[in-house]
Structure formats: structure tokens, C-alpha cells
Amino acid sequence: MPSNINLELLQRRYNTMGKSSPLFYEQPLHLVRGEGVWLFDNEGKRYLDVYNNVPHVGHCNPRVVEALHQQATTLNIHTRYLHDNIVEYIERLTATFGDGLSMAMLTCTGSEANELAMRMARHCTGGQGMIVTDFAYHGNTEAVAEIGTGFMPEAKHTKRVKSFPIPDSYRGIDGVAEDKLADAYVACIQRAIDEFTEEGIKVAGMLVCPDFANEGLLNVPKGFMERATALVRKAGGVLIADEVQVGFGRSGKHMWAHQWYDLTPDIVTMGKPMGNGHPLAGLVARADMIEEFSKVAMYFNTFGGNPVSCAVGMAVLDALQEDRLMENALSTGAYVTRGLRRLQEKYPLIGEVRELGMFFAVELVLDRTTKAPAIVEARRVINLMRDKGVLISTIGVTDSILKLRPPMPFQPEHADLLLATLDEVMDIVSRESAV
């Protein structure tokens, strides 16, 4: 094992957190410091962070830390008293939405946001049935675990969740022509609705990440989202867009991922990047749904929307705007994509490169025709990248898709280091696997 693994700390971690508490990499990293797009381990070694989207405006962003400190010194209190910060923050947040999405409820985590969204959808529609993809993860509470078709145990036993095949233009459906894919996936939504109806379960809604990020940052067949949403609404359900991972301008072009489509969700959930690491999450929804739900369920979240969290949230919006990070996501994102496509030309292992602003998926395949997933190779790539000082991870049904999702201040010079290192590692792994 490399010298920088603190075995004593690892053993103490096992003793206090158990052996199954998830850790990245075959040789876990022991981190001590972060700054911008960089992380530093206990021996001072520097790592380029091409994985973490939570530190959205950069690790330890001074503007955000200052706002946190300033408000924590002044007042931190729950929302049963009046305070300017929560009102100002929600006003600024909802101003980035349109079409009646004018109210918000703040929580601390994305799981809580998705819990709340589903409680609201079920109350307002009177239905229980929820439609999700067949490789979904939306959090770790019980009702959210039920829709965690990716790997959550509760998903196996529930009767109020139906899943549809991930709408994947790259892999498609056997025997379905490319221009018929949208029709085929839309038919799967109709089938889920019909099954619910047959079983006497009223549809409450569809909950999806508009970019299908965990599913592999899919290129969704054109028209699918709009048509699926229309079917769900016709059945009495609502659309919940889970933007916990992809929101806050990561795509560069739009603040919210659903804005790529010609539709407006009924509820949008958000979290991870919202507080740059501070536990801040929530939902923006149709005002009538928030009013109707709040009347029956006295919703109160002890820490949600406190003045410190809201000060942090506003500092993130400020940094995003003043440092022009969405513009950077577009320009540097395009630069990274061009580099990844050059690597695709060079390495047959790379089946497809997909991108969305500052989020990239590099799908590894053993064979470009069969598209057999290169599972072992993907794992090898991320571990070699880690050893060479660049942090990435994997996503997708078989964990064979490289997930590149750096903090938003990622610059072309960082892209150069990423691309050079990936080139080096792809070369090693391609030789090893002889693909």
C-alpha cells in the first residue's frame, strides 16, 4: 500500500463507522485541505478534483466562507421567527424559475427535499404511484429508498413504484430503430401508468433527474420528456424534477436542467451544490401545491432555511454570477469535450462521450459494436487516475461510465492536466485489456 494511507485512521474508522461505510478508491484518500479545484492529502500531495460538484464555486470559496462566518457570528435560528435572509434567498432563487414556480421550502439534504416533494405530490394528487427509471437513486430515507431502483433494498418490496427503462439513445432498445426510440420509451411510461391503473393505484407523479445523471448522463431521445410528462399529467400525476445533482447552472446554458426541455415541472428539488458543502437543500414548487400541502401538514424543519444556511446560499449565487461560472462551464466545458473526443478517436475503449456544460460522461466499452461495458477497465482507470493525482469516479448501470464533474471554476489549464493524465491512463488500461 502507498505510504500515504493512514492505516491506523482506517482501523479507527472501521471501529466507529463500521466496515461497510463507503470509501472511494482501492487505496482510500486521506484528505486534509481543499482550495478551488484542488484537494491535498495528509502528505501534502495535490489532487485535481474532477469529481466533486458539491464544492460548486470551489473548495473553501472565500466569499462563501466569509458569509458563513459573518452570519454564524450574528444569528443562527430556525424559521419560526421572521428573518430577512430566508425571504431574500427564496426571492433570488425563484427568480431563476418561471411559470408559477414562485415558492420554496428549504431543507438540509436532497433526501429531505425528495421526501417533501413526494409527500406534497401524494397529498395534492391523492395518488400514491410514483414513476422512476429502472436505475434510480434519489437519496437515503425510506420513501426515497423505495424509488432507489439502482440498489436500495426497499425498492424491491414496494407496490407504489413502477420503473421504466433508462431512456438511453446510445444503447437504445433491441430491435427499435433510432428514430422510433422516443416512441418506445414513451410507451414504457404509458405501460407503467396502465399497470398502476390495473392495480388500483392512482398515479402521484414521475420523479426523474432531467439529465439522468446517475443513469449515465444520458442523451435523451428528443421529445421523450415532454411527451412522458404529458402522459403523467393526463393520469393525474405531477412532474418532480430532481435537480439535486445537476442544478445551479452546471449545464452552463441554463440555471436548471429542466430548462433544456419545453416543459415546466410542478416541483423541482435541489441540494448538493446549493450551499457549497453546507447542508442546504430544498424545493421550488407551484405556489398552489405548497399552500395546499402546508395547510394539512405542518411542515417545519429545525435547521432548514436558517439565516446561516441562507447567507451561504446567497453567497453561492453571488459567486456563480460574479465569477461568471456558467459562462466558464460553457467555454471550458466545450474545451474539455473536444479533448475527450480526441481521446475517443485514439482509444477504442471509449464508446461515447457525453457532456452537459461542466459535466462529462465517458462510456467505456469492450467493443464499439456490441457496446459490452468495460467494467473492470473503468475501475482500473479511476484508481490509476487517483494515483496520478486526478480524482474522477464512475456512474451507470454497470459502473462502466467515467464521471467527470469538477467544481465550476475548472479552467482550461486544469482541463489540460485532466486530459493529459487520462491519455496516459487510457494508454495503460488499453494495453492491459488489449482492446
CB crowding 37-51: b at 16 or more within 10 Å, else e: bbbebeeeeebbbbb
Min. distance of Cβ 29 from its own copies in angstroms? 5
- Cα gap 197→24, rounded to integer Å: 42
If the CB atoms of residues 308 and 419 are measured against its own copies, the closer one turns out to be 308
If the CB atoms of residues 54 and 375 are measured against its own copies, the closer one turns out to be 54
Nearby residues of 20 by Cβ (< 8 Å), 6 or more positions away: none
Min. distance of Cβ 69 from its own copies in angstroms? 4
Contact between residue 135 and residue 150 where contact means Cβ atoms under 8 Å apart: yes
Contact between residue 374 and residue 360 where contact means Cβ atoms under 8 Å apart: no
- Cα gap 339→216, rounded to integer Å: 19
C-alpha angle 142-145-146 in degrees, rounded to nearest 5: 90
Min. distance of Cβ 158 from its own copies in angstroms? 12
- Cα gap 361→359, rounded to integer Å: 7
Min. distance of Cβ 314 from its own copies in angstroms? 14
Min. distance of Cβ 251 from its own copies in angstroms? 20
Q: Using the 8-state DSSP alphabet, how is residue 276 labeled?
A: B
CB-based burial of residue 238 (10 Å sphere; 0-12 exposed, 13-18 middle, 19+ buried)?
buried
- Cα gap 151→137, rounded to integer Å: 8
Distance of CA 424 to the CA centre of its chain: 28
If the CB atoms of residues 75 and 334 are measured against its own copies, the closer one turns out to be 75
Which amino acid, residue 219? N
If the CB atoms of residues 54 and 343 are measured against its own copies, the closer one turns out to be 54
If the CB atoms of residues 5 and 184 are measured against its own copies, the closer one turns out to be 5
If the CB atoms of residues 69 and 191 are measured against its own copies, the closer one turns out to be 69
Min. distance of Cβ 430 from its own copies in angstroms? 27
If the CB atoms of residues 9 and 420 are measured against its own copies, the closer one turns out to be 9
Residue 12 half-sphere exposure toward CB, CA atoms < 13 A:
5
If the CB atoms of residues 24 and 416 are measured against its own copies, the closer one turns out to be 24
Written as nine digits, the cell of 222 is 428528443
Min. distance of Cβ 417 from its own copies in angstroms? 20
If the CB atoms of residues 295 and 431 are measured against its own copies, the closer one turns out to be 295
Q: Which of 286, 284, 281, 297 is nearest to 233 (CA)?
A: 286
Which amino acid, residue 314? M
If the CB atoms of residues 69 and 234 are measured against its own copies, the closer one turns out to be 69
Min. distance of Cβ 316 from its own copies in angstroms? 13
Q: How many residues does the chain have?
A: 435
Place of cell 495503460: 428
Min. distance of Cβ 422 from its own copies in angstroms? 21
| Cα 315 to Cα 93, 183, 265, distances in angstroms | 12, 43, 26
- Cα gap 31→41, rounded to integer Å: 4
Give the number of other CB atoms < 10 A from CB of residue 163. Answer: 17
Min. distance of Cβ 60 from its own copies in angstroms? 6
